[in-house]
Amino acid sequence: VESVVIAGAGQAGLQVAASLRQEGFQGAITLIGDEPGLPYQRPPLSKAYLLGKIGLANMHFRPASFFEEQRVTLLHDSVQAIDRTNRRVTLASGGALDYGHLVLAVGAHNRLLPVPGAELDGVFGVKTLADADALAPRLAHVKNAVVVGAGFIGLEFAAVASALGVHVHVLELGDRPMARAVSKEMSDAFSAAHQSWGVHLDFRQGLTRIDGDNGRVCAVETTDGRRLPADLVVFGIGVIPNVKLAVEAGLDVDNGIKVDANLLTQDPAISAIGDVASFPSHFVERHIRLESVQNAMDQARTVAARLMGKTAPYAALPWFWTDQRDLKLQIVGLNDGYDDTVVLRGKAAYQMTVLCFRRGQLVAVETLNRPADHMVARKLLGRSCQLTPREAGAEGFELKAYEL
């Protein structure tokens, strides 16, 4: 391959460019991103950046000099269409670009609130730097915030806002927080923590509409008919992969752009990675999509290596983290279909490790404020692990000791 064009200059796209150069790729690399400025990390948007603890400079993946030194052409433009026959993408600015290989790293967009009033001033998602920059200054003046969705982003926002003295009310359709990703035991620990911070958690509850006053949000109505005062509404109800380009180019799409174990679409000149890619998981034996920094980076490395002739199926161990005030949750593995857990409690109040088993096999480990256990768990899950629930449940069992 002589030239690589990367659509999307986020976590995955930037990493493909960086890894290609690390691997010694000499050809042209063009990174096309439709957001202004240098490519940046998203995780702080709902955490330290929102809290004002870190600035934008700390969120850039690489300084401006990187692009020059590494001969990576960064275009602020939007890929509009893919002409697979001629291996060419067309851009919103009117230009076109030929590719030897095309990497689709276009991410996902927020699912919007499907209720009247969602367009009012004061209703926010947290996906982009622009979102966080619009949201952060409001926090100083807000009294009541309603959060829709008790997933990672909703809870991270609730942690920040409550720390700033905002009264936060969380509406969640499910019956526990972060239910899609963590065990019941871990959900319970986060419920307790948020309650201790004064966050009101309202489960099995959605909203039917948002009310405005002069175009600005002033209240929401819950599914059971209550009216909650709100001068801010923040929603985190999931994302939709950006598949339009792929669909229009005739590529297979099924909850994301469908790729094979090597992260190739059915077109051998097009790969897809990161939040937008639906790939056959080494761990759960079906196609999945993961929204994590780890997945974006490791998939990028897999594709860069393949383009340099080192083809290997993507089999990286999934891991993830979330920070909410003084709670750091780290997850390794996928707890899909887990049927048994063993909880190891630490000395401090919010210190615990949850081992998740599926049919007797350890499939995921969640650690709360126990980074050492997380590192051990990564090693354990990285090779075939024989630990049984019985062993783990024995009096005095420690993950660290098991590894030795």
Applying CB under 6 A, the residues found at the interface with ligand FAD are 7-13, 32-35, 42-43, 45-46, 78-79, 105-107, 126-127, 153, 242, 245, 274-276, 291-294, 296, 320-322
Q: Give least dist CB 106 to ligand FAD, A.
A: 4
* CB contact burial 208-239 (16+ within 10 A = b; e otherwise): eebbbeeeebbbbbbeeeeebebbbbbbbbeb
In contact, 284 and 290? CB cutoff 8 Å: no
> Least separation, in Å, of the C-beta of 150 and ligand FAD?
15
Smaller CB separation from ligand FAD, 247 or 394:
247
* The amino acid at 232: L
Closest residue to ligand FAD using C-beta atoms:
10
Q: What are phi and psi of 105, to 5 degrees?
A: -130, 55
What is the nearest approach in angstroms of ligand FAD to the Cβ of residue 278? 12
Q: How far is the CB of 40 from ligand FAD (least distance, A)?
A: 9
- Closest to ligand FAD by CB, 34 or 221: 34
Query: Which one, 256 or 387, has the nearer CB to ligand FAD?
Result: 256
Nearer to ligand FAD, 183 or 242 (CB): 242
CB-based contact 60:39 (threshold 8 Å): yes
Beta carbon nearer to ligand FAD, 122 or 154: 154
Residue 310 CA to residue 142 CA, distance in Å, equals: 53
The residue among 73, 77, 44 whose CA lies nearest residue 60 is 44
Task: Give exposure, 94-127, as e/b (b: 16+ Cβ within 10 Å).
Answer: eeebebebbbbbbbbebeebebebbebebbbbbb
Q: Give the nearest distance from C-beta 225 to ligand FAD in angstroms.
A: 31
Distance separating alpha carbons of residues 384 and 404, to the nearest angstrom:
15
Nearest distance from residue 77's CB to ligand FAD, in Å? 7
